[in-house]
């Protein structure tokens, strides 16, 4: 990922979202549209989200040191998790407000709503395109992209609602569209939050342990693999730590060559790009891959 280009994209998206937010707040107040005001609030949160993502992006580039021996890559995961929680809260608030608007409808000026919604749609679409390139490679950038995508979708629904309100005075469509967008954003935010949470909890990144066992034991020098820990440290790093049983006459040099071959197989077939094996002779020879945990006594 080109850091200079990524930084520029963050700057462009931040500036665009500030403009959108101001325009939609003013337009929402004068038109009386809840959908427009909700979109403005959503965009306001995006300004903070983009800044948070950008700061995390810069921190993640820092080198390892004595205090952070793993480095700072998880700063972006923390930012993605935070952005996901923010999106969930905003979605729920907007959903409740939309329900209340059904029972207390207000007059909406469709003309103002339509003009501001179109401006917001164009700006949101540009922001979404700007962040799309790196969204599949980086969870932090993806969280920002989802913010932008949900804004673009929200703007589309606001434009549709504005057309119906302006020409046919269908005011109930305003809160209905707000509810639909809120549900979509909630779904996307949940996926990002859970993925970030799984990384932070060092969960297995959907890799079949049976395949790990099959690959490792395909090498005759390895008799058993146990005490396995498999986790995704960041978007680009999947780690495996395990104890392996070998014959007592296997030399350190031979063991190193074997583990290098195993590492290549695990990387090529399962995407595991960092392994650490502890060699043992007898201890754990009959143990399973996952050792039973110990419950804390009260």
- Residue 113 pLDDT grade (very low, low, confident, very high; cuts 50, 70, 90): confident
Phi and psi torsions of 22, nearest 5°: -60, -45
* CA distance linking residue 123 with residue 24, whole number of Å: 12
- pLDDT at position 5 over 60: yes
- pLDDT at position 3 over 60: no
- Residue 152 pLDDT grade (very low, low, confident, very high; cuts 50, 70, 90): confident
- What are the structural domains, with CATH classification, of the chain? 3-201 (1.20.1510.10), 209-280 (3.30.70.1350)
Q: Which of 11-15, 106-110, 226-230 has the lowest mean pLDDT?
A: 106-110
Residue-wise pLDDT for 127-136, tens only, equals: 888 777 777 7
Task: Retrieve residue 87's tokens.
Answer: 């999106």
Q: What's the average model confidence in pLDDT over 35-58? A: 75
* CA distance linking residue 75 with residue 56, whole number of Å: 5
pLDDT of 125: 84
- Count Cα atoms within 13 angstroms, Cβ side, for 196: 25
* CA distance linking residue 153 with residue 125, whole number of Å: 9
Check the CA dihedral 94-17-142-180 and report its sign.
positive
pLDDT of 295: 46
pLDDT of 42: 65
pLDDT of 35: 65
- Residue 224 pLDDT grade (very low, low, confident, very high; cuts 50, 70, 90): very high
pLDDT of 298: 41
- pLDDT at position 279 over 90: yes
DSSP structure class, residue 63: P
* CA distance linking residue 255 with residue 220, whole number of Å: 12
Q: Helices then strands (H, E): number in the chain?
A: 8, 3
**How far lies 67's CA from each of 72, 162, 247, in Å?**
10, 54, 37
Q: What's the average model confidence in pLDDT over 210-232? A: 96
Share the mean pLDDT of the chain.
83
pLDDT of 4: 54
Q: Which of 72-86, 130-144, 195-209 has the lowest mean pLDDT?
A: 130-144
- pLDDT at position 296 over 60: no
Contact 116/27 with Cβ under 8 angstroms? yes
- Residue 50 pLDDT grade (very low, low, confident, very high; cuts 50, 70, 90): confident
pLDDT of 294: 45
- pLDDT at position 241 over 80: yes
């Amino acid at each position: 990922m080109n850091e200079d280009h990524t930084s520029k994209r963050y700057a462009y998206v931040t500036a665009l979202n500030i403009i959108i937010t101001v325009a939609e707040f003013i337009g929402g107040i004068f038109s009386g549209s809840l959908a427009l005001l909700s979109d403005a609030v959503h965009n306001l949160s995006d300004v903070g989200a983009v800044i948070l993502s950008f700061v995390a992006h810069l921190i993640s580039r820092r080198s390892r040191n004595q205090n952070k021996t793993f480095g700072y890559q998880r700063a972006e995961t923390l930012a993605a998790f935070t952005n996901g929680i923010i999106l969930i809260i905003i979605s729920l608030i907007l959903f409740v407000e939309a329900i209340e608007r059904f029972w207390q409808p207000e007059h909406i000026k469709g003309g103002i709503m339509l003009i501001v919604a179109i401006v917001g749609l164009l700006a949101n679409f540009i922001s979404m395109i700007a962040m799309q390139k790196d969204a599949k490679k980086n969870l932090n950038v993806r969280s920002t992209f989802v913010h932008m995508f949900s804004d673009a979708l929200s703007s589309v629904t606001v434009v549709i609602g504005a057309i119906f309100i302006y020409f046919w005075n269908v005011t109930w469509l305003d809160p209905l569209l707000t509810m639909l967008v809120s549900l979509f954003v909630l779904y996307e935010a949940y996926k990002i939050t859970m993925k970030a949470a799984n990384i932070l909890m060092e969960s297995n990144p959907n890799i079949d342990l049976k395949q790990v066992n099959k690959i490792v034991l395909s090498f005759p020098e390895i008799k058993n693999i146990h005490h396995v820990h498999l986790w995704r440290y960041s978007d680009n790093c999947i780690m495996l730590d395990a104890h392996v049983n070998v014959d007592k006459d296997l030399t350190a040099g031979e063991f190193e060559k074997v583990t290098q071959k195993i590492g290549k197989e695990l990387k090529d077939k399962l995407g595991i790009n960092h392994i650490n094996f502890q060699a043992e002779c007898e201890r754990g020879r009959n143990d399973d891959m996952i050792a039973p945990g110990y419950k804390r006594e009260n």
